[in-house]
Amino acid sequence: MDDVRALWDEVVVVPDFPEPGISFKDLSGILANPTTLGIAVRAWADACRGEEPTMIVGIEARGFPLGAALAYELGCGFVSLRKPGKLPRAVHRREYALEYGTSALELHQDALTAEDRVVIVDDVLATGGTAAAAVHLVRETGAHVISLAAIMDLPFLGGRGVLQAEGVRCHVLLDDDGNPHPHP
């Protein structure tokens, strides 16, 4: 079993970005290092393989490379949840509140079917607003959301509870102090 604590060595905490008071967790170093990228993807795959997912849905932008790597590892397909105006065909759209500001996500209406079992992927789970919007968008297609995979959560913002209330499991590897979650 890999040690997910190695992921913390690649995390850069940037104070006051993108605005004063926000402690931004830059996880791009985890992707840049092939060892830590492999540790994260294998840990997620071990946690959710038994859920028998058929599709991985990645949230723009860091959910794209992470989600595609997980999809490859599990033998699943990959679908993108995008910021507004990027997808060319008919979309479902959902607005949501962020830790800082508001945003929206879109999903192609025909990207998933009622037979799909979906794991949603993002880098950081903060308030859970983004992940909850993703859950609702996937459900609009008729697909079943099984779980969310993220590298880090910020427990003081309560995102896990938001997903639990939706009946969605969380596979999170680290908290914001670098402690591994005991049961990702």
Q: Which one among 2, 51, 127, 180 touches ligand AMP, defined by CB under 6 A? A: 127
Contact criterion met (CB below 8 Å) for 70 and 119 = yes
DSSP state of 164: H
* Shortest spacing between CB 130 and ligand AMP, in angstroms: 3
Q: Which one among 40, 92, 122, 138 touches ligand AMP, defined by CB under 6 A? A: 122
* Residues in 129-158 that interact with ligand AMP by CB under 6 A: 129-131, 154
Asked if 125 interacts with ligand AMP (CB under 6 A), we say: yes
Q: Which is nearer to ligand AMP, 7 or 124 (CB)?
A: 124
Dist CA 78 CA 96 (whole Å)? 23
Specify the amino acid at residue 22: I
| Residue found by looking up tokens 């840049």 in the block | 32
Q: Is 73 exposed, middle or buried (0-12, 13-18, 19+ CB in 10 A)?
A: middle
Find the helix or strand (DSSP H, E) in which 98 lies: none
* Residues in 69-88 that interact with ligand AMP by CB under 6 A: none
Q: Which is nearer to ligand AMP, 47 or 163 (CB)?
A: 163
Asked if 128 interacts with ligand AMP (CB under 6 A), we say: yes
Dist CA 47 CA 44 (whole Å)? 5
Provide the sign of the torsion angle of the four alpha carbons 82, 86, 89, 93, taken in this order.
positive
Q: Which stretch binds ligand AMP (CB under 6 A): 48-56, 80-88, 109-117, 128-136?
A: 128-136
Asked if 124 interacts with ligand AMP (CB under 6 A), we say: yes
Which residues lie near ligand AMP (CB under 6 A)?
Answer: 22-25, 59, 62, 98-99, 122-131, 154, 159
